[in-house]
Structure 1
Amino acid sequence: MLESLITSKTRIRLLLKFFLNPAHGAYLRELAQEFEESTNSVRVELNRMAESGLIESKEEGRTKVYRANQAHPLFPEISRIVAKTVGFDRLIEQVIQRLGNVKFAFVTGDYARGIDSGLIDLVLVGAIDETYLASLTKKVEGLIEKKIRTLALTLEEFRKLEGKFREEPHFVVWDGDSHAASKIS
């Protein structure tokens, strides 16, 4: 979808990287290596996005770290477009809301790092019917054309593992119980 609006593949990758998980930052060489592109081509796009105010940079030692500018007036809309491109909007609508008692759900793995790998790691916490989850997941995979790997945990199971989740990049996609979801933030 974004490819029809934006012709620069590097710019699309940067939008996905920074707007899938806006709290996650990255530096130039890391991005060039991840995208398998020259630092110059990545720098040009970073500069354009920084000039427009879509991303911001901060010096951390001798390294400049870039991240999404969450104060930009278009931030919410761009985040929604990126989420729709990845398919999170349909994932949330089709899977999570139909499962009933989901306390919260969050994405980990590549997408939480801002990498569009085609595999979405989704953790659901609550009283979840895993058989129904498996059938819904298959349906949604066909809709969004991405593979979904789910992990269903009870609240007690999550509490035992929450330290590990807190250490890894993640972002909440469903917050049915704001108190519980804030534990991993």
Structure 2
Amino acid sequence: MLESLITSKTRIKLMIKFFINSDTTAYLRNLSEEFRESTNAIRLELNRFEEAKLLESKNEQNKKVYKANTKHPYFKDMHRLLLKYVGIEEIVDNVVKHIGELERGYIINDFAQGNPGNILDLLLVGKNFDYDYLNKLVRKAEESVSFKIRYIAVSPNEASQYIPDKTKTLLVWSAGDKF
């Protein structure tokens, strides 16, 4: 659906990269290698996003580093749109709400870094999980998305062991509030 509205695949990749997890930062050559596209194509799109004030940049060690402008009036709308596009919002709705005493739900690893792949990793923090129900919901959610879902369920005391790097985690559920 999004591809019919936004015809540039590079633009869509950049939107996913920066607007799914607002803590993501990247520079031109890094993006060029990651997307396997020319630096010119990436630079053109980065300049458009920066002109529109959707991205901010700063110079660090002779590199221009880009990051989403979370203060932009459309940031939250773009974030929600992209969560829907990659299927995360549906998973949160179908899986995370009814599985036990959930305190926090995170997306970890590639998806959290704005690199959707074949596997979505979830970290569920809470207690008294209904694993049979959780497994059933995960299977049901997998039918409606184009990737597999893995999860780790841990107690609140164990959570910090599984969140070593903030850039590789995306909080999608906290105390009953959806992000």
How many Å separate the matches in 2 of 1:7 and 1:137?
32
The DSSP-based 3-state class of the residue aligned with 1:21 is: coil
How many Å separate the matches in 2 of 1:101 and 1:145?
28
Structural RMSD (CA): 1.5
* Runs of 4+ more than 4 Å apart: none
State the match for 2:5 in structure 1.
5
Tell me how many residue pairs correspond in the alignment: 175
State the match for 1:183 in structure 2.
none
Contact map agreement 2:112 2:169 (CA 8 A) in 1 = yes
State the match for 2:171 in structure 1.
172
For structure 2, which runs of at least 5 residues remain unmatched after alignment?
A: none
Query: Percent same amino acid among aligned pairs?
Result: 42
For residues 88-99 of structure 1, the aligned pairs below 5 Å read 88-99=88-99
**Larger relative helix fraction:** 1
* Structure 1 counterpart of 2:124, one-letter code: L
CA displacement at 1:177 relative to structure 2: 7.4
Contact map agreement 1:54 1:68 (CA 8 A) in 2 = yes
* Structure 2 counterpart of 1:43, one-letter code: R
State the match for 2:145 in structure 1.
144
Contact map agreement 1:103 1:176 (CA 8 A) in 2 = yes
CA displacement at 1:2 relative to structure 2: 1.3
The answer to which of 165-174 and 20-29 deviates more is 165-174
Cα distance per residue 1:62-104 (max 9 Å; x no partner): 1111111111111011101000001111111111111131010
For structure 1, which runs of at least 5 residues remain unmatched after alignment?
A: 179-185
* Structure 1 counterpart of 2:104, one-letter code: F
Q: TM-score, structure 1 length as denominator? A: 0.90
